[in-house]
Amino acid sequence: MTNASSANMENVIEEKNQDMAISARNINVVYSTPTGQIPAVRNVDIDLPKGSITGIIGESGSGKSTLIMAIMNAVTKPGKIESGSVILDGKEDMLKLSTEQQRKIRGKKIGFVFQAAQNSLNPLRRVGQQILDLGRSHDVKDLRALIKYAKELLMRLGLDADRVLASYQHELSGGMRQRVGIMFALVLNADIVFLDESTTALDMLSQASVLEIIRELQKEKKLTIALVSHDIGVIADLSERIEIFYAGEIVEEGKTDDVLANPQHPYTRGLIRAIPKISGDIDSAEPLKGASPDYKTYQQPGCLFYDRCPIRTDECLKKRPDLTHIGKSHKVACFRVGVHD
């Protein structure tokens, strides 16, 4: 390759990176257990385009939350990030920043809503006091304006703002705590937000209302959102792109409409078949066969979905399939593309 061609290629890559709020490459996370190290996230590449909503879906224990924590460089023991890079806005690598630099980015640049919202709230401090603590830790000068904005967000989320700010964690229901968690993720005007099962604690009507508010806020503020869920219906409703996660690996990805209309991985098809239909026979929903992967699954050289796959062949047991293009933006990791069960 000539110097000119090399320079042009570097410019293209740089321009692409500038369009990405987050560009993560070769993320590997392992957990130390009595039976050895288990790769919770393996060789994952993922991009979050600016101003978009990306859905990350998979069964419980598939590694979705671990991936998000790795992107924020917040994996705790017994977990360990073995390799990877996480480029923010085409500039700094989150995994190479100092602890203080990372702390300032979390909350200010990246907001996060935990699956169990009570884990992110201090049981000894009122909600209003915790907002002030958050503001002071990020050098917010106008704390009065911060409280005012927190009230606006809480009201938009359907809560009595004054009551919530004066409450301790235990005085709020699970659904209220989940909405408070969303407020904390947005109150410092973060432009990247991770929502980890953020509506799990809500009933169906409240869930629909909160999701609509998230959609409105995303459009207003041009937020980049990664929506982590095991509910494919939620992902289908909100996300523009979808990442199908299984046993720590992405097995299918692409535009949400493309993937759901033409699912190519047997795991993706299984997830779709497991959704109960609003009309028709409710028993037509089929649960995924087999058990979720255990430590033995991770040791096998072939496809991690082999034991549960209805279209497997001997080849699938010998070699791990790569994530390969089958369209402009549609990728799948399967040797049996085009073969349906």
Asked whether the predicted pLDDT for residue 257 surpasses 80, the reply is yes
- Tell me, yes or no, whether 73 lies in a domain: yes
CATH number at residue 288: 3.40.50.300
Q: Which residue would you say has higher pLDDT here, 51 or 213?
A: 51
Query: How many beta carbons lie within 10 A of that of residue 167, not counting itself?
Result: 18
- Tell me, yes or no, whether 155 lies in a domain: no
- Tell me, yes or no, whether 49 lies in a domain: yes
Over residues 11-35, the mean pLDDT reads 79
pLDDT bin (cut points 50, 70, 90) of residue 290 is confident
Tally the domains of the chain. Answer: 1
Asked whether the predicted pLDDT for residue 38 surpasses 80, the reply is yes
The pLDDT, as a whole number, for residue 291 is: 83
Over residues 14-43, the mean pLDDT reads 85
pLDDT bin (cut points 50, 70, 90) of residue 9 is very low
The position carrying tokens 């169906």 is 204
* C-alpha closest to that of 107 among 164, 45, 181, 52: 181
- Tell me, yes or no, whether 35 lies in a domain: yes
Lowest mean pLDDT among 2-11, 104-113, 128-137: 2-11
- Tell me, yes or no, whether 273 lies in a domain: yes
The pLDDT, as a whole number, for residue 322 is: 93
**Domain that includes residue 60, residue range:** 3-109+190-332
Residues 184-187: contacts with CB under 8 Å, at least 24 apart? 184/111, 184/113, 184/120, 184/130, 184/131, 184/134, 185/111, 185/112, 185/113, 186/111, 186/153, 186/217, 187/131, 187/134, 187/146, 187/149, 187/150, 187/153
Provide the 8-state DSSP code for 190.
Answer: -
The pLDDT, as a whole number, for residue 11 is: 45
Structure tokens belonging to residue 111 = 């907001």
pLDDT bin (cut points 50, 70, 90) of residue 266 is very high
155-175 tens-digit pLDDT: 998 899 999 999 999 999 888
Of all residues in the chain, what percent carry a pLDDT higher than 70? 90
Structure tokens belonging to residue 274 = 């497991």
The pLDDT, as a whole number, for residue 338 is: 82
The pLDDT, as a whole number, for residue 277 is: 65
Cα end-to-end distance, the chain, whole Å: 45
216-242 tens-digit pLDDT: 889 998 999 999 988 888 888 889 999
- Tell me, yes or no, whether 25 lies in a domain: yes
Q: Which residue would you say has higher pLDDT here, 294 or 2?
A: 294
- Tell me, yes or no, whether 136 lies in a domain: no
- Tell me, yes or no, whether 266 lies in a domain: yes
The pLDDT, as a whole number, for residue 7 is: 47
